[in-house]
Amino acid sequence: MTRLDSAIRRLTAQRDLLDWASRTIPPDGVVVELGLGNGRTYDHLRHRLPGRTIYAFERVVAAHPDCIPASPCLIVGDIFETLPAFTRAVGAGAAALIHADIGSGDEALNAEVSRRMSPLFEPLLMRGGLLLGDRPFELPSCEDLSDRAGAPKGRYFVYRRV
C-alpha cells in the first residue's frame, strides 16, 4: 500500500467513525478533540454536532484560521498537564466523545504516549461515552467496539465507557 493509499484509508475511516459516533453518543456531555492539527476533524465535528460544546487541545496551534475554536474551547499546552486540569475543571464523566488523533510516525513514541494517556481518558469519559483514537489504548472501564463500529483493523480504535 502506498503512503497516499494509507492516508486516504485513514481519513476515510476517521470520517466514517466520526459520523457514526455523532449519531451514537449520549445527548449530553462535551466533545473533546485531542490534537487539533490543521482543524479538519474539529471542523467536521462542529458540523455534525451543532450546538455541542467542543474543546480542542493542541500543543502549538497551526490550524486553518476558520478551524480554531474560540476561547475557552481552545486549550493550548502539553496534554499531560492540560487534560488532567481540564477534567478537574469540568468534572469527571463530562465527555460524551473524545477523539484522540495524536499519533506520529514513531511507533515506539506512539506506544509510550498511548500508555501514558490511557489513565487520563477514563475519568473524563461519561458512562456510554465514546473514545475514538488512532492508537490502541488500555481502558479497563471501557469496551472495545472497534470491530463492531467498522473500524479498519489496526487503523482506528473505538471504545465505549461501561
* Mean pLDDT calculated for residue range 10-17: 90
Q: Provide the pLDDT for residue 148.
A: 86
Q: Provide the pLDDT for residue 70.
A: 93
Q: Are 151 and 51 in contact (CB under 8 A)?
A: no
| pLDDT tops 90 at residue 90 | yes
| pLDDT tops 80 at residue 35 | yes
Q: Provide the pLDDT for residue 99.
A: 97
Residue showing cell 474539529: 42
| pLDDT tops 80 at residue 103 | no
Confidence of residue 75 (pLDDT cuts 50, 70, 90): very high
Q: Domain spanning 3-161 has what CATH number? A: 3.40.50.150
For the chain, give every domain's residue range.
3-161
For 116-132, what is each residue's pLDDT tens digit?
999 999 999 999 999 99
For the chain, the distance separating the N- and C-terminal CA atoms, rounded to the nearest angstrom, is 36
Q: What does the CA dihedral 61, 64, 69, 75 come to, rounded to 10 degrees?
A: -10
